[in-house]
Chain A
Amino acid sequence: MDFGLIFSSIAPVFAPENILFILLGATGGVLIGSIPGLTSTMGIALLIPFTYGMTIIPSVGMLLGIFCGAMYGGSIAAILIKTPGTPAAAATLLDGYPMGQKGEAGRALAIALFSSFCGGMIGALLMTFLSPFISRMALKFGPAEFFTLAVFGLSVIISISGKSLVKGLISGFFGLLIATLGMDKVSGYLRFTRLIGFYEGVPFIPGLIGLFALSEVYANIENILKSEKVTAKISGVLPGWQDIKAIARSVVTGGFIGSFIGAIPGAGGDIAAFVSYSEAKRSSKHPEKFGTGIPEGVAAAEAANNGCTGGAMIPMLSLGVPGDSNTAVLMGAFILQGFQPGPMMYVEHLDIIYAVFASMMVANFAMLIVGMCGVKLFAKVISIERKLLIPAIMVLSLVGSYAINQNMFDVYFALVMGGVGYLLQKYEFPLSPILLALILGPMSESNLRRFMQIDNGQFWRIFTKPICVIFLVLAVASMIVSVRNQRKINKRVARSGGDAAE
């Protein structure tokens, strides 16, 4: 490595005005991320025109600030109002929201922030040192590999099912079923619908808002006037030493899982967070406590989705293949600046690559600072009187559903999904499996069919591909372990009188 070049290329990243741009980006990102329906992709896309007149380093710094900030921001809404601010925060709410309800919103936010920062730094470091190696792996992913990855992802449904495995599976299959709506991704035929709003499948973000936010609004209407306020104890803006010790392992594993899944094009923070959550639960000494509001759950999910930010940059920079929708838009920003990401970037513009690495780390620090300033402020949301908070969530949800496509159809769809979510929750069906199925259903279906088309329908060939075999073995193993764990948990709960997992 040419250290002279490294120092001369990262020096401009630390210029005061550049730091300011990154901080601005991170602040905007945290805000955008915390509002359901406004995604980091949207934030980056809308700011790109403002970078026309800027040079590459501040513009990329600002956009990376948004990217990292929004990944943390998503957890704020998940913890406080049970709605993932971004899809990637869906796994955060499994334990984040129960923590908030116990009066530990401040602690949950601090843990989410700390884990996001650590996960993000792990991702950024891996990106800096392992890019060329990891990117070669990304090319090995063809349709068959993506299919088995999706199958592995779906096996996670079991560990996020909560008390009843059967109900979790029913939710999951319901999600898979509605994921088949719309235009067939291989033949182009319309399935089960003539409605134009369903052509591209069910609108994902409005569906997510409906299922999580609006269902909560409906449920709260029942007791909106009986205001039982939750007050948030705020001990500090960073987790205490005890907490850090408890979550350390989940954070590190989560960071690596996130970076790895992020580096696979087409798999993003949402999948990573669920996989990491499931792994944390599997390896935990007390898996029965997951879902009741424990720090490890929040940490595993948040470390993974932020680890993804660095991971997703790897194939984008070194192959010109974006790792997720955020990096796809970021790639557009690079091209507009006259830099074509891809293998030649490492040959021709190594200085820019180093600057991007440095900016990514600075962006994570910026996120940490913005988050630390905000924790106390955000946590107050939970203490707002319900009759004021619920209508506000309703309005935000509707605006968020509209914003994504600027289409009223999506708003109606969100309202309907709200009803579906309300009923499902009333009868204790878990909602997360639906979300996971909506993400992974289309991915597994279209890649399976693509693979069958390329290999002339010879399914057995999947067993000749090493990556596929690894994922299939992982999927089977994860299912067996989760089912066993679930049995153990049920037994333990039965023994202790059933209060531990309530």
Chain B
Amino acid sequence: MKKLSIAVLGLLLVSGVVFAGGKAEGGAPAYPTKGITMICPWAAGGGTDAILRALSAAAAKQLGQTITVENRTGGGGAIGHAAIKNARPDGYTLGMVTFELNSLPQQGLIDFTYADYDPLIRVNADAATLTVKADAPYNSVKEFVEYCKQNPGVVSIGNSAPGSVWHIGAGLLANETGIDVKHVPFEGAAPAVTALAGGHIQAVSVSLAEVKSQLDAGNVKCLGIMDTKRSALYPNIPTFIDQGYNITYFTWRGLALPKGIDPAIRETLTKAFTAAMQDPEFVEQAKKMNLDLAFLPPAEFNAFLKENFDAVTKTMKAIGLVN
């Protein structure tokens, strides 16, 4: 099924590029005629920056113009997201939006939502995991839940920052399974994983890519992944659904435009970036970064954003992050 959809997508892409070439000659406004700016709300050198630079390089080949990545950082992502929303809607500025777009508004940290953008495509979606120390006495999500129930308020789960994607993920887990745990925020996922490997906390709820090096070294073990399917790289890690818990939870990244862009330009951009997502060089880069590419076209991405926003809001309320 998946292979088929990829094949169909590939075909669409090829025809898309051909048609795009055809249309430009047919009198549509010439676009793009100059370099494009891509706003990254996170710092240069980080995961978002790396994937965005690779994707931009692939899309630049399609568009025949350079794409410059601009890191507009600060405010926990708020500044960059605002910059994308407020950019001039001429198609020469767009940016990468990330999970935080759906968790900052509820906390009153930004005064706009996904609805203030023109979503382009979803790029990747990485599931949360439940990862514990290798020598921990529990070997499945069920055993972990039972342990937490017998020892309420003892287990500390590390996450990447207060109100962050993995904090909400761990909150979802605690809420759905009815366990009482301590949520300990760190400054990013890496310090949390290190604290786990050093035995200072008992679990982390971060993505598979973020625990990979410690997992390979046998310092930690992954009890479950909050995905709909198992990871291709680690097929023996069961999903939560496999273990009888109906929990799925992802962080995601996508591209978005400011509102009010000429539909023809949006179409050109959609086609270029859709094609870029299939570029072998880009796919290779994503694979090296252990990212799960999860393409969604504009309409589906928009629907996903709404669904995700509602789910995140519900969890945040349930765990008391917002009223």
Query: Which listed residue (B50, B70, B199, B212) contacts A48, Cβ 8 A?
Result: B50
Residues in B whose Cβ lies below 8 Å from that of A344:
213, 216-217
Complex contact B45–A45 (CB within 8 A): yes
Bound complex: CA A343 to CA B215 (Å) = 10
> B-facing mask of A117-154, CB < 8 A → 1, else 0?
00000000000000000000011111100000000000
Bound complex: CA A187 to CA B321 (Å) = 9
Complex contact A336–B285 (CB within 8 A): yes
Most buried by A among B45, B46, B57, B212: B45
Complex contact A406–B70 (CB within 8 A): yes
**B71 in contact (CB, < 8 A):** yes
Complex contact A343–B217 (CB within 8 A): yes
Complex contact A407–B185 (CB within 8 A): no
Bound complex: CA A338 to CA B212 (Å) = 13
Residues in A whose Cβ lies below 8 Å from that of B163:
188
For window 183-230 of A, CB contacts with B under 8 Å fall at 183-188, 190, 196-197, 199-200, 203
Query: Which listed residue (B109, B153, B190) contacts A321, Cβ 8 A?
Result: B190
Residues in A whose Cβ lies below 8 Å from that of B193:
321
Residues in B whose Cβ lies below 8 Å from that of A341:
213
Query: Which listed residue (B71, B78, B217) contacts A406, Cβ 8 A?
Result: B71
Residues in A whose Cβ lies below 8 Å from that of B191:
265-266, 321
**B107 in contact (CB, < 8 A):** yes
**A282 in contact (CB, < 8 A):** no
Residues in B whose Cβ lies below 8 Å from that of A343:
213-214, 216-217, 219
Residue of B nearest to A456 (CB): B153
For window 402-425 of A, CB contacts with B under 8 Å fall at 405-407, 409-410
**B200 in contact (CB, < 8 A):** yes
Residues in B whose Cβ lies below 8 Å from that of A410:
74
**B118 in contact (CB, < 8 A):** no
For window 370-407 of A, CB contacts with B under 8 Å fall at 405-407
> A-facing mask of B55-83, CB < 8 A → 1, else 0?
00100000000000011111110110010
Bound complex: CA A199 to CA B110 (Å) = 11
Instruction: With A45-B44, A139-B197 as known contacts, state yes or no: A406 contacts B72, CB within 8 Å.
Output: yes
Most buried by A among B54, B109, B182, B193: B109
Complex contact B200–A454 (CB within 8 A): yes
Bound complex: CA A319 to CA B50 (Å) = 21
**B156 in contact (CB, < 8 A):** yes
Residues in A whose Cβ lies below 8 Å from that of B25:
none
Bound complex: CA A428 to CA B43 (Å) = 37
Complex contact B74–A197 (CB within 8 A): yes
**A235 in contact (CB, < 8 A):** no
Residues in A whose Cβ lies below 8 Å from that of B109:
190, 199
Query: Which listed residue (B44, B153, B219, B289) contacts A335, Cβ 8 A?
Result: B289
Query: Which listed residue (A52, A185, A322, A336) contacts B162, Cβ 8 A?
Result: A185
Residues in A whose Cβ lies below 8 Å from that of B185:
185-186, 188, 450
Query: Which listed residue (A184, A319, A329, A453) contacts B197, Cβ 8 A?
Result: A319
Bound complex: CA A133 to CA B73 (Å) = 37
Residues in B whose Cβ lies below 8 Å from that of A369:
none
Query: Which listed residue (A48, A138, A142, A320) contacts B214, Cβ 8 A?
Result: A320
Bound complex: CA A328 to CA B190 (Å) = 9
Bound complex: CA A34 to CA B127 (Å) = 42
Instruction: With A142-B200, A265-B191, A320-B213 as known contacts, state yes or no: A200 contacts B45, CB within 8 Å.
Output: no
Complex contact B288–A328 (CB within 8 A): no
Complex contact B71–A49 (CB within 8 A): no
**A101 in contact (CB, < 8 A):** no
Residues in B whose Cβ lies below 8 Å from that of A332:
45-47, 50
Residue of A nearest to B78 (CB): A196
**B253 in contact (CB, < 8 A):** no
Query: Which listed residue (B44, B107, B184) contacts A46, Cβ 8 A?
Result: B44
**B187 in contact (CB, < 8 A):** yes
Residue of B nearest to A330 (CB): B45
Bound complex: CA A193 to CA B196 (Å) = 33
Q: Beyond A48-B45, A336-B285, list 18 extra A-B contacts (CB 8 Å).
A: A45-B43, A139-B198, A142-B200, A185-B187, A196-B74, A196-B75, A196-B79, A266-B191, A319-B213, A322-B190, A332-B47, A340-B212, A340-B216, A342-B214, A406-B73, A407-B79, A446-B187, A450-B185
Question: Could you jot down 16 A-B contacts, CB within 8 Å?
Answer: A45-B45, A52-B285, A139-B197, A186-B162, A188-B185, A199-B74, A199-B75, A203-B74, A320-B214, A335-B288, A335-B289, A342-B216, A343-B213, A406-B71, A407-B73, A409-B74
